[in-house]
Chain A
Amino acid sequence: MIEFREVTFVHQNGVKALENVSLKIEPGETVAIVGENGAGKTTLVKHVTGLLKPALGTVLVDGEDTTRTSTAQLSRKVGVAFQNPDHQLFSESVEEEMAFGLRNFGFLPELVEQRVTWGLELFGLSEYRKSSPLVLSGGEKKRLTLACILAWDPRVVILDEPTVGQDSIQKEKLAGTIRMLSASGKTVVVVSHDIEFLWPIQPRVVVMKAGKVVGDGPASRLMQDRGLLDSARVAQPQLVEFYDRLGSRPAAPFADPLEARRWIEEGHRS
């Protein structure tokens, strides 16, 4: 569904942000893009909505070349929740904020009302419906931006650093939302530094370093590759590190802390 064919992108200041990137993301996949600051993660996802156009190579979304389609048209299929919610909130009320995208895409008024109510309930924001989005807390703003995107039901959802400013409960809820989106057949792309957040989701992981894809595979395999993670300056999940240090251990690393606790409680101590 999303395909990068030998994509190279150079910023105006001459810095090469992407170099010869080839990547295919199939419908329904959950993909995490990881790498240190400046590795090209955000630049990569901005190509999917046509916000950036490749200097060389092609980016295809549903077979459509992003250079020949407007961002607004691509956004109907691909919803992006950006890192800083303050960069998009402007309406007088939370419900108006949610309705903004829906109206831009020409949804009928009854459907707009329906989708706004659904989104606010899903993210626990119904009580703020008439409040200004600017007075919400950081975490609430972040949830609102995600609700805004999901309101028009895009097939691909891109989350850029979704855990920034979120407490542990909100992170858990967010992980639940990502699982829910995956289960409903959506393609989910998460750009994040937060390895501890990504690990329990067990996505396909794409590791980036200096504008290049240096690793691509299931989290269970890539997160055990210490050499790769060190070279890309990506931290290893604590559960994998714990697993590596065990004398006798199960066949695969623990997917979440509960699984590890259960294993210890069963009498496996080392």
Chain B
Amino acid sequence: MMWLSSGFIFRRGTSRYHRLDPRVKLLISVLMFATTLLVRTLYELAAVLTFMIAVAAIATVLRRVARTMAFTGLFSAFIFILNFIFTRNVETSLLYAARFVAIVVSTSLFFITTSPDELEQVMKTFRLPRDVIFAFVTAVRFIPVMFLDTIQIMDAQKSRGLELEKGNLLRRARNMIPILIPLVVNSVVRSGELAEAMESRAYGSVPRPTSLVEYRASVTDRVVAVAAVVLFALVAYSFYFVLPARIL
């Protein structure tokens, strides 16, 4: 489980995609996300997913995106089954299940290639309230810490004879209590300590603190952003006016 979920966590990279302005990476992810909502057939969705895989290859995060896809597999299966029960249509059910995978991949491509610092800068450009930005970025920054905590808590409880892999669904759910309680308690304690540490370092003393890094879009960033918008417009146009609504 931990191996799978690590597909969502940022790791430093040196690819051209990593080096793009974070606002451009956000734009690409938003456009990919929007495209997945526009698709009406499995073929169109397959094309969009192929494009996402190509982006992942450029960003040299193919393996991690594969993990993201594997992570969403269980939820997708659930979506497929529910849709099939209510619609009795394999194509529609598959479309919804695959669309979920595409949505998660499009968002994870942004998060696994964008550091929390860059994320903070992106949010600042949208002039969001400082406290909101801080809370969101801190939450993102603490995801790996919480994963690490979870592993250590699981280790500690397994060493006290807790069997996490045995028993029926109800028992397995009940066995998660010794994992979840220390995790929540630790997180609450940590957030209190963080608040104290931030206040003791003058957090909130000035309305607009200065930034160490000010992002300026380079020529490459601008070209990639324009290309992404044009490509999105072309794809949206072709989905609605060129390609037939049903191919299958």
Q: Choose one: A84, A86, A134, A148; the contact of B160 (CB below 8 Å).
A: A148
User: Does B125 sit within 8 A of A, measured CB to CB?
Assistant: no
- Give the shortest distance, in Å, between B181 (CB) and chain A (any CB): 4
In the bound complex, do residue B182 and residue A90 qualify as a contact, i.e. CB atoms below 8 Å apart? yes
In the bound complex, do residue B182 and residue A86 qualify as a contact, i.e. CB atoms below 8 Å apart? yes
Q: Told that A72-B163, A86-B185, A86-B189 touch, could you supply 6 new A-B pairs with CB distance under 8 A?
A: A12-B6, A82-B152, A84-B152, A87-B149, A87-B155, A87-B186
In the bound complex, do residue B156 and residue A72 qualify as a contact, i.e. CB atoms below 8 Å apart? no
A113 CA to B9 CA, complexed, in Å: 45
User: Does A89 sit within 8 A of B, measured CB to CB?
Assistant: yes
> What's the tally of chain B residues with a CB closer than 8 Å to chain A?
21
Task: Find residues 156-203 in chain B having any chain A CB closer than 8 Å to their own CB.
Answer: 156-163, 177-178, 181-182, 185-186, 189
Q: Please, which residues of chain B bring their CB within 8 A of the CB of A71?
A: 158-159
- Give the shortest distance, in Å, between A204 (CB) and chain B (any CB): 23
Task: Give B contacts to A, CB under 8 Å.
Answer: 3, 6, 149, 152-153, 155-163, 177-178, 181-182, 185-186, 189
In the bound complex, do residue B185 and residue A70 qualify as a contact, i.e. CB atoms below 8 Å apart? no
Q: Given the interface contacts A87-B186, A100-B178, does A70 sit within 8 Å of B163 by beta carbon?
A: yes
Q: Given the interface contacts A82-B152, A86-B189, A87-B149, does A104 sit within 8 Å of B182 by beta carbon?
A: no
User: Does A30 sit within 8 A of B, measured CB to CB?
Assistant: no
Q: Please, which residues of chain B bring their CB within 8 A of the CB of A82?
A: 152, 155-156, 159
Closest A-chain residue to B184, C-beta based? Answer: A90
Q: State the 10 A-B residue pairs at the shortest beta-carbon distance, nearest first.
A: A104-B161, A90-B181, A88-B156, A101-B160, A71-B158, A80-B159, A87-B156, A87-B153, A72-B161, A87-B152
Q: Given the interface contacts A87-B182, A134-B185, does A79 sit within 8 Å of B152 by beta carbon?
A: no
A201 CA to B152 CA, complexed, in Å: 28
Give 28 CB contacts A-B under 8 Å: A12-B3, A12-B6, A46-B155, A51-B158, A70-B163, A72-B162, A72-B163, A75-B158, A75-B159, A75-B161, A78-B159, A86-B182, A86-B185, A87-B155, A88-B178, A90-B177, A90-B178, A90-B181, A90-B182, A90-B185, A100-B160, A100-B178, A104-B160, A104-B161, A104-B163, A105-B161, A134-B185, A152-B161
User: Does A49 sit within 8 A of B, measured CB to CB?
Assistant: yes
- Give the shortest distance, in Å, between B11 (CB) and chain A (any CB): 9
Closest A-chain residue to B11, C-beta based? Answer: A13
In the bound complex, do residue B178 and residue A72 qualify as a contact, i.e. CB atoms below 8 Å apart? no
Q: Please, which residues of chain A bring their CB within 8 A of the CB of B157?
A: 88
Q: Please, which residues of chain B bring their CB within 8 A of the CB of A104?
A: 160-163
Q: Please, which residues of chain B bring their CB within 8 A of the CB of A149?
A: 160
Q: Please, which residues of chain B bring their CB within 8 A of the CB of A101?
A: 160-161
Q: Choose one: A51, A84, A86, A89; the contact of B159 (CB below 8 Å).
A: A51
Task: Find residues 149-167 in chain A having any chain B CB closer than 8 Å to their own CB.
Answer: 149, 152
Interface 1/0 per residue, A46-73 and B, CB below 8 Å: 1001010000000000000000001110
Q: Please, which residues of chain B bring their CB within 8 A of the CB of A105?
A: 161
Closest B-chain residue to A151, C-beta based? Answer: B160
Q: Please, which residues of chain A bring their CB within 8 A of the CB of B6?
A: 12
A86 CA to B162 CA, complexed, in Å: 17
In the bound complex, do residue B159 and residue A79 qualify as a contact, i.e. CB atoms below 8 Å apart? yes
A84 CA to B148 CA, complexed, in Å: 13
A87 CA to B190 CA, complexed, in Å: 13
In the bound complex, do residue A86 and residue B186 qualify as a contact, i.e. CB atoms below 8 Å apart? yes
Closest A-chain residue to B153, C-beta based? Answer: A87
- Give the shortest distance, in Å, between B157 (CB) and chain A (any CB): 6
